[in-house]
Structure 1
Amino acid sequence: MIVMKFGGTSVGSADAFAQVAQIVKEAVGRESKRERPGVVVVTSAMSGVTNMLIEAAQRAERGDVSFYQAQQDSLLLKHQVVAGRLIEDGSERAALARVFEERLAEFDRLCSSIAVLGELTPRGLDVVSGLGERMAAPLLAAVLRAHGLRAEAIDATELIVTDNAFGGAAPITHLTEARCRERLLPLVEIGVVPVVTGFIGATVEGVPTTLGRGGSDYSAAILGAALNVDEIQIWTDVNGVMTADPRIVPNARSIRQLSYEEVAELAYYGAKVLHPKTVLPAIEKKIPVRVLNTFEPTHPGTLIVEKVQAEARGTVKAITAIRGMNLITIAGRGMMGVPGIAARTFSAVARVGANVLMISQSSSEQSICFVVPEASAESVIAALHEEFRRELEHRYIDSIYGMPHINIIAVVGSGMRGTPGLAARVFTAVAQAGINVIAIAQGSSEANISLVVVDADVTSALRAIHDIFELHLPTEERMRPR
């Protein structure tokens, strides 16, 4: 049994829907010969739809009624074009038309209420932003039926039970597993392909929630873990996980195999292929995750497993960058040997709800620096000034300041453990490119070295590090003596 998740570009047009239907049909044929057959499909909204919905809700809050009203026509047309091209059965098209009408009427009511109140709550935004998946799933199920498969659209609010952290809800595992098995397994056992809405869930009380942007990956992993499937497949528009962003590093290549640890590091530090939480349910059940290309389905993609094969272990596997960051520094000679400075620093950061992506401290204890998203920097600095007001007055701390327009580059690979001279090669590469490294950090897992550079240097740094480790070559070629 497998779970197949298709992202927004994979269901972005009529041609893409037809391609997905063919991929699913072939998968159903293969799985039917296995000891435990079955295919569960998870779909994102059509490409661009979620952004459109969010913008409509935000503009409704500002009283812009005409915008969301115009978007209803765009949304209807976008989905009707697919139905018109791929579904010939008149009753199927009529049933879809009713579904679209219901969803768009709900969209109109929600935006109208937001406009009247002049307020967009996280709860209201979750309901609006999940409508794209609730239109895509019935459409994809109908397209699969048109291709000769038995398929049924299922709303994930029936399956994934979450807490009420709107905008980034977490699943309640035992309730979710029970619902998934009760609802999905009977369908799979009789040869029906469930087509489940990605990205969304609901609280115990039935209030719709979302799992965070890009959360359809997470939906697939949650369902896969609940059903204990043999493999979770993430179908996207690239040939698996790449050694670097090919838009920045032209000779980047796809990686055949990664560990859960490696892909989690890459996702956390900006790689766009997977939602950062995707691997968590897979890790718990030790389920392989495969990243594949909808538009090049014969490519093997990237297999993500608990431990990579010994012969596939190299030093560095990939590099990535996360942009739009701010480096916050607390400095002062009076900090030396004073207990509790770090604890108070990060307590203050936590109070304003900021996410810390990297921490570095000088060995002399005269400074601590850490990286937060640019949007959080002002509130973090204000919170730190308040926390250390007394220390600043007495000059125990000399300054608290931020450096904008910086980026974290993460150099990732499980094989980095115990490899002498690896950090030296990283810094040789950036030095030869004339790049100043502002701060560095390495976690205890030794699977990641992170360095901070300014905006102007990030492209050159990525290319230099990619070249010095010859990441354009397959791992086995890089490991051969020269």
Structure 2
Amino acid sequence: MQVLKFGGTSMGSAQSIEQVCNIIRNKKPNGRFTIVASAMSGITDKLIQCGQLAGQGQEQYRNVLAEIESKHLDTIRTLFPITVQSGIISQVKKRLNTLETLCDGIFQVGELSARSLDKIMSFGELLSSYLLAEKLKSAGLNAVWKDSRELIVTDNNFGNAAVNFLATNHQTAQYYQQQTADFFVLPGFVAATSDGETTTLGRGGSDYTAAIIAAALHAEVLDIWTDVSGMMTADPRMVSQAIPIPHISYEEAMELSHFGAKVIYPPTIQPVMDKRIPIWIKNTFAPDDYGTLIRSQDGETHVHPVTGISGIQKIALLTLEGSGMVGIPGFSKRLFEALLTERVNVILITQSSSEHSITVGIHEADMLKAKTAVDSEFSQEILEKRIEPLIVERDMSIVAVVGDKMKNHHGTSGKLFAALGRNGVNIRAIAQGSTEKNISVVINKGDVKKALNVIHEAFFEEPLKQVNVFIAGVGNVGGKLLEQLNQQHQFLMNELGLHVRVTGIANSRNMAFGHEAINLHDWKSALDAGEPSDMAAFAQKIKSLNLRNSVFVDNTASKDVAAIYGEFLQHGISVVTCNKIACSSDYAYYKSLKDLARKYNASFLFETNVGAGLPVINTLNDLIRSGDKVNSIEAVLSGSLNFVFNNFVNGASFREVVKAAQDEGYTEPDPRIDLSGVDVMRKILILARESGVQMELEDITNHSFLPKEALEAPSVDAFYEQLDVHADHFLSLREKADADGKRLKFVARYENGKASVGLQSIAPDHPFFKLEGKDNIVLYTTNRYAAQPLIVKGAGAGADVTASGIFADIIRSAR
């Protein structure tokens, strides 16, 4: 005997039922088959609605009954030839009339009991299974319909009845021994008490019906036909990278189903596990897919220690705590008895080793009656302040990691907790069974999707880690960054195992988010079609998306954007920036950002604040981390100023050189931002701070070479006029340097806790003398590099190199 169960979507339409019949016909010709059918999809909910409306005295139940009748009659007219329709319609209408009479009675008394609701709900499976049996007969198969209520015996716990297996097995065996049919069609979900009262086995009970019959008949196999190709490593609606599980043990399947895997109803597994009957989960709409085979472990080796991940949402945590619990037996017993009295199901239990508290997880819907019952049970202890009133926390979820191989695989728990911690997912409670097949964590419900994805990535996608990048500022630097990310996308996946997705972009006008990722071949169109830019809304959207491995990239020079870095870091979102404002603002803010990054395990990276793409800050960090001490820093840190003074030769006027630098894009639109030296002051300040010095911008001496009139000019045009007015001043600076055989460089210096910036004449034997173009150079003199400084030198300006430095920081944050 083989038992096949078909779910609601498999029975959802005439076309689906035709597919079910094809699957049954394609079974091996020799053998006997029991087919268990669920109600047509959506019908059970409509039946419940009928009962509730009737019980509330609302006549709209008649409209819902008409919808139920219409769906079944339409299915008959499509499914059967017209010559046989009348007899089938007659039988269906007869049953629907009985349903209507039942609802009318409930409407008259204005009350819906659990017993009556079970009778109402039974009609879905009774009707669908009857149609399936008639269809098989019309196809020439030796099929019979049998009412499951005449086989499965339960208690009178209406809505979720408990099966009397002894009586059920006896009645089932007796019936089948007397039958000669090849195909037996049974309604799922329904059963009856020993007195013949209709009961139901709980939502999802059709699976359970099939398992009960399979166990009673010692079936060869139980097929569960549904609308997915087996159990998955995670819910594919939450985790797009979820993959099918081809083989799984009974115990693993039970754990996953208990913790929310919807493919199989949890009680289904126990009856067949006791008889070692394999369960095969198959897809009605893709019958050739392998599916998932649930059976005893037979030495098969799983590739991963974790078999699957599942979760339960809408959980409440109940915590009973107090010093009066320590060393006193019986508190746990009384807690669970109080919950039992109110029929509150406990999903998770954890207790502190000090016995000071015990925490349980329950469904959120039960939390009010649970609190009332527990506070009542411990009212005396609460009055005497030996324990606290029951603490209730809502809006929680449980995520469970399941696998038979976990107990033999070291580091599974560490890997789980590290993955969650890196992404800012706070764990409220932990439970692990003694068999070590399951580690369950309670987290905030808003973190469920991210948690499932990061755990799945940690255990199933190790070769490929997803990184979600949000970029503010897509001008010269931002545009080049997007170009580089697009160009290197495949390389990052193949060589570094990183799937970098740009999920959000913003400029001063618009902002846009991609459902999965923004197409970097056409990001400008996506941005043009986006909504008006609002940086507060952009930040809120990033936080609400709550995606794993998120990185915020700031390519702006905005003080407002720099002010919100803390919001990202405290949500576990890394920050990468070329914006110098945050790190050169008040030391307290700079320090707070560094502290937040450490506290919330997020990266705060700003290599491009100094030297564009040069490894200036990383080199300094490596020196400090390895125990070296910085004695002095000497640097040319402005590519634009270096360009200006390298070209201020051969009779060119200072004004002409500055204008050329502006036209080439080496300076800001207002060149005074570069020429004033303030930008260089910020850079040396950042290097001093990264060396471990507490310093403010006003502590740095600026030996400005610009006349006051030029600095204070009311406009850029007026500034250029002042350069002409003071042309002799600039010429004298150059002539004096030339006379001494030196070159002009704008130099930043830090030594003995003091920093300064200013124009200097550099001798030929100095490393700065031959610095060409827009290059930067930094000399670190340290305890280890005392005789000869450590030199970092190269292009220190330009969109390409700055973008490459930001790119490198993104990769560092991801790894």
Whether TM exceeds 0.5 here: the answer is: yes
Q: Which stretch of the first structure deviates more once superposed, 351-360 or 81-90? A: 81-90
Compared CA separation, residues 31 and 428, structure 1 to 2 (3 A):
farther
AA at the equivalent of 1:437? I
Aligned to 1:339, which of 324, 329, 341? 329
2:100 is aligned with 1:105: no
1-structure distance, mates of 2:115, 2:201: 12
Aligned partner of residue 183 in structure 1, secondary structure: helix
Aligned partner of residue 195 in structure 1, secondary structure: strand
Q: Which stretch of the first structure deviates more once superposed, 113-122 or 310-319? A: 310-319
Aligned partner of residue 9 in structure 1, secondary structure: coil
Compared CA separation, residues 292 and 205, structure 1 to 2 (3 A):
same
Could you tell me how far 1:309 is from its partner in structure 2?
3.6
Aligned to 1:467, which of 453, 457, 460? 457
Aligned to 1:300, which of 283, 286, 290? 290
2:206 equivalent in structure 1:
216
Could you tell me how far 1:247 is from its partner in structure 2?
0.4
Specify which structure has the bigger relative contact order, considering alpha-carbon pairs within 8 angstroms and separated by 6 or more residues. 1
1:115 equivalent in structure 2:
107
1-structure distance, mates of 2:146, 2:67: 24
2:429 is aligned with 1:439: yes
Aligned to 2:67, which of 70, 74, 78? 74
AA at the equivalent of 2:69? L
1-structure distance, mates of 2:247, 2:47: 36
Compared CA separation, residues 319 and 278, structure 1 to 2 (3 A):
same
1:3 equivalent in structure 2:
3
Could you tell me how far 1:164 is from its partner in structure 2?
1.2
Contact persistence 1:83–1:143 (CA under 8 A): no
Aligned to 2:344, which of 354, 362, 370? 354
Aligned to 2:120, which of 128, 143, 154? 128
Could you tell me how far 1:58 is from its partner in structure 2?
0.6
CA deviation digits over 1:84-140, x for unaligned, max 9? Answer: 1221162x3222112211111111111111111111111111000010111111111
Contact persistence 2:50–2:65 (CA under 8 A): no
Aligned to 1:168, which of 148, 155, 160? 160
Aligned to 2:134, which of 123, 138, 142? 142
AA at the equivalent of 2:144? E
Compared CA separation, residues 398 and 202, structure 1 to 2 (3 A):
closer
Aligned partner of residue 427 in structure 2, secondary structure: coil
Aligned to 2:227, which of 237, 240, 250? 237
Contact persistence 1:326–1:374 (CA under 8 A): yes
2:57 is aligned with 1:63: yes
Aligned to 1:310, which of 300, 315, 322? 300
Contact persistence 1:31–1:39 (CA under 8 A): no
Q: Which structure 1 residue ranges, 4+ long, deviate > 4 Å from structure 2?
A: none
Contact persistence 1:161–1:201 (CA under 8 A): yes
AA at the equivalent of 2:34? V
2:608 equivalent in structure 1:
none
1:414 equivalent in structure 2:
404
AA at the equivalent of 1:357? I
1:378 equivalent in structure 2:
368
Aligned partner of residue 251 in structure 1, secondary structure: coil
2:41 is aligned with 1:51: no
2-structure distance, mates of 1:226, 1:405: 42
2-structure distance, mates of 1:253, 1:31: 33
1-structure distance, mates of 2:167, 2:448: 44
Could you tell me how far 1:281 is from its partner in structure 2?
0.8
Q: Which stretch of the first structure deviates more once superposed, 324-333 or 388-397? A: 388-397
Contact persistence 1:239–1:254 (CA under 8 A): yes
Contact persistence 2:304–2:460 (CA under 8 A): no
2-structure distance, mates of 1:43, 1:11: 7
1:479 equivalent in structure 2:
none
Contact persistence 2:396–2:442 (CA under 8 A): yes
AA at the equivalent of 2:200? T
- Equivalent residues in 2 for 1:442-457, closer than 5 Å: 442-457=432-447
2:193 equivalent in structure 1:
203
Contact persistence 1:252–1:472 (CA under 8 A): no
Contact persistence 2:283–2:291 (CA under 8 A): yes
AA at the equivalent of 2:190? I
AA at the equivalent of 2:348? M
Q: Which stretch of the first structure deviates more once superposed, 231-240 or 398-407? A: 398-407
AA at the equivalent of 2:33? V
Contact persistence 1:260–1:304 (CA under 8 A): yes
What TM-score does the superposition give when structure 2 sets the normalisation length?
0.56
1:365 equivalent in structure 2:
355
AA at the equivalent of 2:52? Q
2:102 is aligned with 1:83: no
Aligned partner of residue 216 in structure 2, secondary structure: helix
2:236 equivalent in structure 1:
246
Could you tell me how far 1:471 is from its partner in structure 2?
5.8
Could you tell me how far 1:311 is from its partner in structure 2?
2.2
2-structure distance, mates of 1:428, 1:160: 48
1:477 equivalent in structure 2:
none
Could you tell me how far 1:71 is from its partner in structure 2?
2.2
AA at the equivalent of 2:137? R
Aligned to 2:34, which of 19, 40, 44? 40
- Which stretches in structure 2 are left out of the alignment for 5+ residues? 464-496, 498-815
Cα RMSD of the aligned pairs, angstroms, is: 1.6
CA deviation digits over 1:281-303, x for unaligned, max 9? Answer: 10121100110000000011000
CA deviation digits over 1:237-271, x for unaligned, max 9? Answer: 00101110000000101101111111111111111
Could you tell me how far 1:219 is from its partner in structure 2?
0.3
Could you tell me how far 1:76 is from its partner in structure 2?
1.9
2:766 equivalent in structure 1:
none
CA deviation digits over 1:313-344, x for unaligned, max 9? Answer: 74100000101110011122232222211111
- Which stretches in structure 1 are left out of the alignment for 5+ residues? 474-481
AA at the equivalent of 1:63? G
AA at the equivalent of 1:244? A
1-structure distance, mates of 2:181, 2:211: 21
Compared CA separation, residues 86 and 470, structure 1 to 2 (3 A):
same
2-structure distance, mates of 1:412, 1:95: 51
Could you tell me how far 1:64 is from its partner in structure 2?
1.0
